[in-house]
Amino acid sequence: EPEVTQTPSHQVTQMGQEVILRCVPISNHLYFYWYRQILGQKVEFLVSFYNNEISEKSEIFDDQFSVERPDGSNFTLKIRSTKLEDSAMYFCASSGGPLPYGYTFGSGTRLTVV
């Protein structure tokens, strides 16, 4: 069954450093998302991406965040200057159609900012 692949599974970074989280969505999917889950808290929407541009972003997704689909395969989330409060599990998801059929999630990247 097709999968959404995320790398790395765990990343530790120092506060102020830039990190790039990588995702390979399902190949024929058109809609891409990043969500995050701070430990013990609910899953929060960050951004949706369609047709090579951001469709919607949350208030969490401020200027330190950016997304890219550089090569038609990878879908990346960059955090320019990490803060302690960015520590969370980051999930990439993709969806196949214009209507929300439900996501296929990746297994997540645990980001720890120290």
Site for other proteins, rule CB under 8 A:
31, 33, 35, 41-45, 48, 50, 55-56, 89, 91, 95, 98-108
Q: Rounded to the nearest whole angstrom, what is the least distance from the CB of residue 23 to other proteins in the complex?
A: 13
Nearest to 68 by CA among 101, 100, 92: 92
List C-alpha distances in Å: 15 to 6, 7, 24, 112.
Answer: 22, 20, 26, 9
The residue count for the chain: 114
Closer to other proteins by CB, 74 or 104: give it.
104
Amino acid at 8: P
Q: How far is CA 23 from the centre of its chain?
A: 7
Q: Rounded to the nearest whole angstrom, what is the least distance from the CB of residue 103 to other proteins in the complex?
A: 7
Closer to other proteins by CB, 1 or 14: give it.
1
Q: Rounded to the nearest whole angstrom, what is the least distance from the CB of residue 81 to other proteins in the complex?
A: 25
Closer to other proteins by CB, 82 or 91: give it.
91
